[in-house]
């Protein structure tokens, strides 16, 4: 292999990069790519020089303290976790720390719960943990205020105990070129030492009333923190993408408790899964320093109408917006002010996802959801009820090209009901695809599985739907437009596959009757 040019060796390593494999969906692929790169490092010193930097570009903390407790043997010392191995290497090799581009930190337990389990575990490797404690003296937290000193002492004590959150906090202080951070947490504020780290560095970030921005109808609040707004961040100074996830069966994330993290000046993409956006004064307008944000994705969230409008207004360079409400959400309140603020992003917005379960509409403007003002929109994924009014409520009945910009390349309609049939019929009869020269794909996602819904509908209604669906598909085929019809359940199962081992465990614990 030594006779191969360096460019070929580097190309081999780059092809095996696990950086693009986003856990948890591709966790097995990530593990395979990582193992392969680790094996390449053992081939030769030359190959190691190319493979090792690629190997350390991404890391996934797949450790679970409860699983470790179940796997413990009678040894006096527990085995170091993958996070501890990774962290030790980065402390010994700062050059590799500079290679890390993406981190996924999952299973960050509530501190008290992890301590309770830790008490039952065998002792950690004290020499290893001592090296972590020593590294805190070189961390970026240099403020000598009493509260900072108190937190650092608590942080060191947690490191001495081997708590995952404390170790993850130390990791964040050494990966200065990190681009993507993906955190799964059980607490509303990311929890424990990570939250305290940001608080100590940036100070208390809070909203204050701004009388200059206040309107007659609503009070305005702006975020005040000179440390945060002054310039680059002393930790994660190149972070561009932040993903925060609510762990299963845990409290929702509260963005009002995570302001230090979500307002990092270099941030371009923010993805939050399972969150509450709640503030003390409601209704009121809260202004976020999101001028640099390009992509905003909020999924399974609880958000009020004022906060929703503020987010869109403050993301002045927004390119993609995803608002995916949960099926068990309270009534969703969408107001005209949000639509007007959305129209202000017409020069930049290219992707819009607004998915609201049909039965949870609380308030919605009476006028049509006209997105034609979004002249650069390429992807539109939207619930039927958000885009199209119920048949018979408007005269004349609107058509697709009355509501959608001609720039659209992909159209996905969610929570589709039978009364979608008249719109599809007009689209076919008028060959309306000619109004959308860039259209490449149409997807209809039915509210229920087709085989179940067939039992609930009259035979004539089923026949009408099936007939127009077939005509629509034929038209798309002739026009060279991709077309797909499936149910919400089928789409969810496809996008969220259950791990085989998890499924086997569920079947074992809850066997089918007669099994």
Number of H helices, E strands in the chain: 21, 18
How many angstroms separate the CA atoms of 147 and 138, rounded? Answer: 18
pLDDT of residue 390: 66
Stretch 230-259: mean pLDDT, rounded? Answer: 78
CA angle 462, 463, 467 (to 5 degrees): 120
The reported pLDDT for the residue numbered 482 is 95
pLDDT for the residue 335 = 79
Name the pLDDT band for 106 (thresholds 50, 70, 90): confident
In a domain, 171, yes or no: no
Domain final position from 55, 79, 101? 55
Does the pLDDT at position 362 exceed 60? no
Mean pLDDT is highest, among 22-26, 188-192, 342-346, 500-504, for 342-346
Position 227 scores a pLDDT of: 59
Say yes or no to pLDDT of 365 above 60. Answer: no
Secondary structure E strands in 356-457: 361-363, 379-383, 410-416, 441-446
How confident is residue 216, by pLDDT bands cut at 50, 70 and 90?
low
* pLDDT at residue 240, as a whole number: 93
Domain span including residue 489: 319-515
Q: What is the pLDDT of residue 509?
A: 46
| 318 compared with 186, residue with greater pLDDT | 318
- Between residues 491 and 67, the one the model is more confident about: 491
What is the rounded average pLDDT for all residues in the chain?
A: 78
What is the tens place of the pLDDT at every residue in 437-465? 999 999 999 886 444 444 455 556 667 77
Do the domain assignments include residue 366? yes
pTM here is 0.85
| pLDDT(499) > 50 | no
Give the percent of the chain with pLDDT over 70. Answer: 72
Q: Where are the beta strands (DSSP E) in 325-458?
A: 332-333, 351-355, 361-363, 379-383, 410-416, 441-446
pLDDT confidence of residue 406: 92
Any domain includes 47:
yes
What's the pLDDT score for residue 117? 47
pLDDT level of residue 374 (50, 70, 90 thresholds)? very high
pLDDT tens by residue, 220-241? 777 766 555 555 667 888 999 9
Instruction: Return the pLDDT at 331.
Output: 67
- Asked if the structure places residue 23 within a domain, the reply is yes
Select the more confidently predicted residue: 347 or 131: 347
Number of domains within the chain: 2
- Confidence at residue 503, expressed as pLDDT on a 0 to 100 scale: 44
pLDDT in tens, 134-173: 888 776 655 556 566 787 888 888 888 888 888 888 999 9
Q: Tell me the residue length of the chain.
A: 515
249 — alpha (psi -120 to 50), left (phi > 0) or beta?
left
- What 8-state DSSP symbol labels residue 358? G
Contact by Cβ (8 Å): 58, 102: yes
Q: Which residue's entry shows tokens 């209604």?
A: 461
Least confident of 102-111, 134-143, 237-246, 480-489: 134-143
Share of the chain above pLDDT 90, in %: 23
pLDDT at res. 515 = 37
Could you report the per-residue pLDDT of 202-215, keeping only the tens digit for each? Answer: 766 667 777 665 55
pLDDT at 396: 76
Handedness of CA 483, 489, 495, 499 (dihedral sign): negative
Q: What is the pLDDT of residue 451?
A: 44
Of residues 146 and 90, the one with the higher pLDDT is: 90
Residue 42 lies in a domain: yes
Cα separation, 289 vs 205, whole angstroms: 12
Whether 336 is covered by a domain: the verdict is yes
Structural domain contains residue 173: no
On whether residue 334 sits in a domain, the answer given is yes
Last residue of some domain: 55, 70, 97? 55
pLDDT in tens, 23-72: 556 777 888 888 888 998 998 888 899 999 999 998 988 655 444 444 44
Number of Cβ atoms within 10 Å of the Cβ of 102: 22
At residue 100, the pLDDT reads 94
At 260-317, the pLDDT tens digits run 788 788 889 999 888 777 655 556 777 777 888 999 999 888 887 888 888 898 899 9
């Amino acid at each position: 292999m030594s006779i191969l040019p360096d460019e070929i060796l580097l190309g081999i390593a780059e092809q095996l990069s696990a950086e693009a494999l986003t856990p948890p969906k591709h966790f097995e692929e990530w593990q395979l790519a990582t193992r392969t790169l680790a094996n390449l490092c053992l081939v030769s010193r030359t190959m190691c020089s190319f493979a090792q930097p690629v190997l350390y570009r991404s890391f996934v903390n797949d450790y679970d303290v409860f699983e470790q407790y179940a796997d413990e043997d009678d040894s006096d010392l527990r085995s170091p976790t993958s996070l501890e191995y990774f962290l030790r290497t980065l402390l010994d090799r700062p050059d590799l720390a500079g290679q890390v581009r993406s981190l996924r930190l999952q299973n960050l337990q509530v501190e008290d719960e992890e301590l309770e389990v830790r008490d039952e575990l065998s002792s950690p490797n004290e020499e290893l943990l001592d090296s972590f404690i020593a590294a805190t003296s070189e961390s970026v937290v240099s403020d000598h205020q009493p509260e900072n000193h108190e937190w650092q002492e608590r942080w060191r004590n947690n490191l001495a105990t081997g708590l995952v959150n404390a170790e993850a906090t130390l990791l964040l202080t050494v990966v200065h070129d990190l681009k993507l951070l993906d955190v799964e947490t059980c607490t509303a504020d990311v929890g424990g030492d990570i939250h305290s780290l940001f608080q100590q560095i940036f100070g208390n970030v809070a909203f204050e009333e701004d009388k200059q921005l206040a309107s007659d109808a609503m009070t305005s609040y702006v975020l005040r923190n000179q440390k945060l707004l002054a310039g680059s961040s002393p930790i994660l100074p190149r972070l561009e993408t932040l993903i925060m996830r609510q762990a299963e069966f845990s409290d929702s994330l509260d963005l009002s408790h995570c302001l230090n993290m979500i307002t990092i000046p270099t941030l371009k993409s923010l993805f939050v899964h399972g969150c509450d956006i709640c503030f003390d004064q409601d209704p009121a307008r809260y202004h976020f320093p999101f001028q640099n944000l390009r992509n905003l994705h909020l999924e399974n969230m609880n958000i009020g109408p004022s906060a929703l409008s503020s987010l869109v207004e403050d993301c002045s360079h927004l390119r993609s917006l995803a608002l995916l409400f949960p099926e068990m959400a309270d009534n969703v309140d969408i107001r005209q002010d949000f639509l007007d603020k959305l129209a202000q992003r017409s020069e930049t917005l290219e992707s819009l996802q607004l998915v609201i379960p049909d039965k949870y509409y609380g308030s919605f403007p009476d006028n049509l959801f006209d997105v034609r003002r979004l002249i650069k929109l390429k992807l539109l994924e939207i619930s039927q009820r958000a885009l199209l009014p119920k048949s018979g409520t408007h005269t004349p009945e609107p058509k697709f090209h009355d509501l959608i910009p001609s720039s659209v390349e992909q159209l996905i309609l969610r929570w589709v009901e039978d009364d979608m049939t008249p719109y599809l019929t007009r689209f076919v009869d008028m060959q309306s695809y000619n109004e959308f020269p860039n259209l490449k794909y149409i997807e209809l996602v039915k509210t229920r599985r087709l085989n179940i819904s067939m039992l609930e509908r009259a035979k004539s209604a089923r026949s009408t739907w099936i007939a127009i669906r077939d005509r629509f598909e034929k038209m798309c085929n002739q026009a060279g437009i991709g077309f797909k019809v499936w149910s919400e359940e089928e789409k969810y199962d496809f996008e969220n596959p259950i791990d085989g081992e998890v499924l086997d465990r569920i079947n074992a614990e809850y066997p089918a009757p007669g099994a």
